[in-house]
Structure 1
Amino acid sequence: MKADAEASTKWLVPAGYAIRLRRVEDDPLLLVVENRAAELFRNHGYPDLADDPFDNMEDFRAMIGANRVWVAIAPEGLPVGYAVAGPLDDLVHLRELSVDPAHGRRGVGAALVRTVLAAAKHQAAGGVSLTTFRDVPFNRPFYKKLGFEELPSPTRHSRSAPHLKMSCRPASTRANGC
């Protein structure tokens, strides 16, 4: 069954890259990826993400927790991105997505998200949800392009909150991922 889910995502991966499940030996390089990716937020109102990086493996592994982690492997064989996802109600919740900026804008992040979408479909989950920063200019367009839609705000003040909740459900079937 795992092989079927992985095989169904091979067409989603940029040429030369591969996506596979995390191995413990990936963790030191994933920690580097996380800290490099956090730098992207420095100039968009979240310098604390870059200024307070994960500096030990214990904290990093606690962030990953018992969730499923997919790793993007670059052509040279090293991890350059990852997605962390786990159950939340009837959904799969995308808890973290990080790609080394040196490998950005090549489709690696999109391939990781599509892998999570494929896994959710394979598990017959109700869809995929995520929370991201509302005012970071590259977040909302990236997820919208993949078929995610903003969830209605529970209060009128939520629209000014820094976080944006989005979901991608099978009912919104599109060629872009959901």
Structure 2
Amino acid sequence: MGVRRARAEDLSHVAAIERSAGERFRGTHMDWAAEAPPTGLDEFRTALARGELWIADDDAGTPAGFLLACPLDDALYIREMSVRRDDQGRGLGRRLIEAATAHARAVTHRGVTLTTDEIIEWNRPLYERLGFRVLDEAELSPGLATKLADERRRMPASARRCAMRLDL
């Protein structure tokens, strides 16, 4: 299992990975996420061209996870990270975040940011173990504040969104 920069042929796997990862939300307050449509391929193509899309391969060399990112304010923003349901718990998410963090350092971003559900038992705790912290509203950069507000407006009332940051 390894993590690498995405290649064009990997794009044919991302929707299936996203749908599989969404299955973990069934039976939770985020059950709606399992039915959400996958992210559009144009967003993946843009990140691929920027070098801000990473793939985690399974033991057979097949894409099993991805991390999609983009620059936002002074940081690299993790737009989405998904790992196939059967491959979760094997360290792929951690490795994807490590790859994105190394990239952020190399291009001199001052941090890595993301938004996530604050109460689901596996999202926020994973990021906290990796050094991220929940941001107070006053700490939000303008772009991150806009993203968080948009998510809170678009998502069902059951979504409990927060913003997190890893300072570099």
Equivalent in the alignment of 1:112: 96
**1:53-84 CA distance string (max 9 Å, x none):** 33xxxx53134352210000111010000001
- 8 Å CA contact 2:30–2:159 kept in 1: the answer is no
Instruction: Name the aligned partner's letter for residue 40 of structure 2.
Output: F
Q: Judging changes above 3 Å, is the alpha-carbon distance between structure 1 residues 63 and 42 closer, same or farther for their aligned structure 2 residues?
A: farther
Structure-1-length-normalised TM-score: 0.76
Using the TM superposition, give the Cα deviation of residue 28 of structure 1 relative to its aligned residue in structure 2, in angstroms: 2.0
Match of 1:66 among 20, 43, 46: 46
Equivalent in the alignment of 2:66: 82
Q: Does 1:122 align with 2:106?
A: yes
Write the distance in 2 (CA, Å) between the matches of 1:40 and 1:63.
23
Larger radius of gyration: 1
Using the TM superposition, give the Cα deviation of residue 161 of structure 1 relative to its aligned residue in structure 2, in angstroms: 7.0
SS at match of 2:27: helix
The answer for unaligned runs of 5 or more in structure 1 is 1-16, 171-178
The answer for unaligned runs of 5 or more in structure 2 is 139-148, 150-157
Instruction: Name the aligned partner's letter for residue 164 of structure 2.
Output: M
Q: How many residues align?
A: 147
**1:89-118 CA distance string (max 9 Å, x none):** 111001100001111111100000011111
Identity of paired residues, percent?
32
